[in-house]
Amino acid sequence: MSDTDTAEGTEVADLEARLSIYRMMQEGRLFEERARDLFLQGLVKGTSHLGIGQEAIAAGFAAALEPDDLVFCTYRGHVHTLLRGAPMAALMAELLGRATGICGGKGGSMHLTDVSHGAMGSYAIVGAHMPIAAGAAWAAKARGTDQVAVCFFGDGTTNIGTFHEALNLAAVWALPVVFVCENNLYMEYTAIGDVTAVEHPAADRASAYGLEPILIDGNDADVVHTTAVRTVARARSGDGPSLVEAVTYRHGGHSRADPGKYRPDEEVAEWLRRDPIPSYRERLLAAGADEGTLDAIDRDALAAVDRATEEAREAPFPDPDTLETELWADGGSAWRN
Amino acid sequence: MAELTYREAVARGIAQEMERDPSVFFIGEDVAAAGGVFKTTEGLLDRFGPDRVRDTPISEQAIIGAAMGAAMNGLRPIAELMFSDFFAVCWDMVANQIAKARYMTNGQVALPIVIRTANGGGARFGAQHSQSVETWMMAIPGLKVVVPSTPLDMIGLLAAAVRDPDPVVVVEPKVLYASKGDVPDGEIVDELGVARAVREGGDVTICVLGAMVPKALEAAGRLADDGIDAEVLDVRSLVPLDVRAIADSVERTGHLVTVEENPRLCGWGAEIASIVADEKFYALDGPIVRVTTPHLPLPSADVLEDAAIPSVDRIVEGTRRSLG
Ligand SMILES: Cc1ncc(C[n+]2csc(CCOP(=O)(O)OP(=O)(O)O)c2C)c(N)n1
Ligand SMILES: [Mg+2]
């Protein structure tokens, strides 16, 4: 990855902001590890797609956003939703199918949404949220709000039509949206390089939409954050969309069912060495952070996850009467009189 | 009072709502500068400007997806799909995204979106620009569907759709665009989910929609010559469905015919037939008859297309059959 930016020479945020990014990554990591454990215990049904290994992208961007900005993510969206400020216990409860879940148990792992915190949904049809994010940005522009929409998606998503339709529309209407490709090198089980006509699935397509190619190390939270600040500022100032390709790696398989055996051992080992969290910790220590402060962040994050887990596990299951609620804005689901 | 074409009614309805509510925006392919390929939206660009009336690229997924995102962030967008056959191109946006978002998030997301579309046959366009697809939308929980059959209904139902807090598909039978009707001055707002008897009668209930309404009325006129007094019920709204109006009519007449432009299988008439068979079985004095397009794509040649779409003759024949 010699052609990606690195932290060297980049203007980084102040130590306090970086500690906050560290805290966010750690909360995301511990939340995901707990989610995985709960799955293995059979307490969470269905499927899950964890963001372990990719936290620097979520945290770097989350730290660059204002409260009323709008984030759109995929089924691999637990960490993005959490870092927007969604209450952890309500997210955990949603995974566990409880009444107190953020979507009342109707959404599940792949659809975590907290509109009150600008987490505008986790979308499970590859690419669908890209035009939707563009539309939210269109409304922001039309209404003259200062909002920016940020849309996270995977490398595999660059080969579906919505990617191209959304980028073209966003560019031609100069919409305040940042599209962030989390290039974790794989779709489900297929390496992106095996099925893509260009080497960098997002960055190499940017010029087709008149955009600057932006290829960064997605495991370097400082680089991600700096890029986020720059692209979000560009969007907010009316200069239009950006397309960022952040190269990263998921430590586990695609979903709960996938051991990830299609990946060479050396490749996995190499990327585990490049885990975004320990390296960031080292960097913050070198920058003058106090070890005790970092330890306290780790402890607090774990305590928060423990509390959220307890709260979620004690929560009741949804009342079956809620089955037929909230299809329509009147709260019901009647299709006839 | 003025006489308007159905196509003029589209523009009048959109203008009425854009005038009233600054959060109403209108997008689609060739809708602004060109005034729409069916000339249904002429004048809107001049009146409301390029920010609110926008031409889009040929990107059906982006058109419908952007409408959804905009609705999530405070607009009430109207999006045009040039031909209803193109729903197949953006079906994910319609069926998976727009329809499911509110339920899936337990009501966190409100989606006041209107999708307008030119639907159905009779224009000799061939199979990919002619199908009646209203039953596709009807099959998806979370979508409302209306089919106006007159200029007045076009304005009133469109206004009701724009004001509704949920996604509504307004299906416009393209063969009706040149048809005319009287429209009163001033604001016109109708109601979703209300069928209307366009001809009252006591012998048989003919449930009908869109472009089949004028044909059913003609058929009823012919039947009257033979002493059969048919009630023609314009269903107007598939979701919500005015089951009460249908059931009350069948209660009085004891006979039911549905006239559908859609291909046979799973047409809306099948749903109505099933409801009536279940809930009004003992009021029925004869078989429920469905008059539909055969289960085929629509052909282009005049003779073939006319043979496919329900004709006045077939409606008369089907109605007689329902009377036993
Ligand atoms: C339209 C569509 N096709 C296929 C799938 C099945 N699917 C789910 S995730 C996935 C891989 C997506 O890869 P990528 O965009 O790289 O995201 P990642 O999972 O790596 O974050 C596929 C093929 C889907 N959900 N939607
Ligand atoms: Mg991937």
User: Is position B190 within any domain?
Assistant: no
User: Is position A161 within any domain?
Assistant: yes
Average pLDDT, chain B: 98
Catalytic residue among B7, B52, B76, B129: B129
Q: What DSSP character marks residue B150?
A: S
Q: Which domain range does residue B82 map to?
A: 2-183
User: Is position B143 within any domain?
Assistant: yes
User: Is position A333 within any domain?
Assistant: no
Closest CA to B151 of B190, B121, B125, B123: B190
Which residues of chain B are within 8 Å of residue A139 when distances are taken between CB atoms?
69-75
User: Is position A91 within any domain?
Assistant: yes
Which residue CA neighbors atom 2 of ligand 1 most closely?
A: A126
Q: Are residues B43 and B168 in the same domain?
A: yes
Compute CA distances A130 → A103, A181, B55, B65, B163, whole Å.
22, 11, 19, 8, 27
Domain with A112 in it: what CATH number?
3.40.50.970
The total domain count for chain B is: 2
Pairing of strands B114-119, A214-217: unpaired
Q: Are residues B56 and B173 in the same domain?
A: yes
Please report the pLDDT score of residue A2 as a whole number.
38
Domain with B98 in it: what CATH number?
3.40.50.970
User: Left (φ > 0), alpha (ψ -120 to 50) or beta: where does A330 sit?
Assistant: alpha
**String of DSSP letters for B201-270:** -SSEEEEE-TTHHHHHHHHHHHHHHTT--EEEEE--EEETB-HHHHHHHHHHH--EEEEEEEESTT-HHH
Q: What DSSP character marks residue B76?
A: E
Count of residues in chain B: 324
Which regions of chain A are under pLDDT 50? 1-6
The nearest CA of chain B is from the CA of A79 a distance in Å of 17
Starting from the CA of residue A49, give the closest ligand. 1
Q: Which one of B183, B205, B227 terminates a domain?
A: B183
Contact B242, B191 (CB under 8 A): no
Inform me whether the pLDDT recorded for B324 exceeds 90.
no
Contact A261, A255 (CB under 8 A): no
Compute the distance from residue A31 Cα to the ligand 2 centre, in Å: 21
Which tokens belong to A82? 């959490």
Q: Are residues B110 and B231 in the same domain?
A: no
Q: Residue B40: helix, strand or coil by DSSP?
A: coil
Q: Are residues B288 and B203 in the same domain?
A: yes
Q: Are residues B13 and B76 in the same domain?
A: yes
Compute the distance from residue B122 Cα to the ligand 2 centre, in Å: 47
Question: Which positions 167-196 of B are in contact with A (Cβ < 8 Å)?
Answer: 193
Q: Of A113, A138, A172, which has the smallest distance from its Cβ to B70's Cβ?
A: A138
Q: What is the mean pLDDT of residues B33-41?
A: 97
Q: Which one of B119, B151, B183 terminates a domain?
A: B183
Note the pLDDT tens digit of each residue in B179-204: 999 999 999 999 999 999 999 999 99
For chain B, helix (H) and strand (E) counts, in that order, are 12, 14
How large a percentage of chain B has pLDDT more than 70? Answer: 100
Q: What DSSP character marks residue B166?
A: S
Q: Are residues B251 and B121 in the same domain?
A: no
Note the pLDDT tens digit of each residue in A62-112: 999 999 999 999 999 999 999 999 999 999 999 999 999 999 999 999 999
Contact A82, A28 (CB under 8 A): yes
User: Is position B188 within any domain?
Assistant: no
Peptide bond into B240 cis (omega under 30): yes
Q: Which one of B149, B183, B217 terminates a domain?
A: B183
Q: Are residues B93 and B216 in the same domain?
A: no
Q: Are residues B169 and B217 in the same domain?
A: no
**What's the first-to-final CA gap in chain A, in angstroms?**
62
Query: Chain A contact for B247, CB < 8 A?
Result: no
Q: Are residues B65 and B97 in the same domain?
A: yes
Q: Are residues B84 and B200 in the same domain?
A: no
Q: Are residues B39 and B139 in the same domain?
A: yes
Pairing of strands B180-183, B204-208: unpaired
Note the pLDDT tens digit of each residue in B228-268: 999 999 999 999 999 999 999 999 999 999 999 999 999 99
Could you identify the atom of ligand 1 that is nearest to the CA of residue A74? 21
Q: Residue B289: helix, strand or coil by DSSP?
A: strand
Q: Are residues B277 and B249 in the same domain?
A: yes
Q: Which domain range does residue A111 map to?
A: 15-308
User: Is position B62 within any domain?
Assistant: yes
The total domain count for chain A is: 1
Query: CA–CA separation, B100 vs A326, rounded Å?
Result: 10
The nearest CA of chain B is from the CA of A177 a distance in Å of 12
Please report the pLDDT score of residue A257 as a whole number.
82
HEC assignment per residue over chain A? CCCCECCCCCCCCCHHHHHHHHHHHHHHHHHHHHHHHHHHCCCCCCCCCCCCCCHHHHHHHHCCCCCCCEEEEECCCHHHHHHCCCCHHHHHHHHCCCCCCCCCCCCCHHHCCEHHHCEEEEECCCCCHHHHHHHHHHHHHHHCCCCCEEEEEEHHHHHCHHHHHHHHHHHHCCCCEEEEEEECCECCCCEHHHHCCCCCCCHHHHHHHCCCCEEEECCCHHHHHHHHHHHHHHHHCCCCCEEEEEECCCCCCCCCCCCCCCCCHHHHHHHHHCCHHHHHHHHHHHCCCCHHHHHHHHHHHHHHHHHHHHHHHHCCCCCHHHHHCCCCCCCCCCCEC
Please report the pLDDT score of residue A256 as a whole number.
84
Helix (H), strand (E) at residue B45: helix B44-52
Query: Chain A contact for B279, CB < 8 A?
Result: no
Which residues of chain B are within 8 Å of residue A125 when distances are taken between CB atoms?
92, 96-97
Note the pLDDT tens digit of each residue in A273-321: 999 999 999 999 999 999 999 999 999 999 999 999 999 999 999 999 9
Whether B129 is a known active-site residue: answer yes
Please report the pLDDT score of residue A8 as a whole number.
54
Domain with B207 in it: what CATH number?
3.40.50.920
Q: Which residues contact A230 (CB under 8 A, 6 or more apart)?
A: none
User: Is position A236 within any domain?
Assistant: yes
Which residue CA neighbors atom 9 of ligand 1 most closely?
A: A188
Mutant choice from A141, A209, A328, A330 vs B, greatest count of B C-beta within 10 A = A328
Helix (H), strand (E) at residue B5: strand B2-5
Q: Best substitution site from A188, A247, A248, A249 to test ligand 1's pocket, by max atoms within 8 Å of Cβ?
A: A188
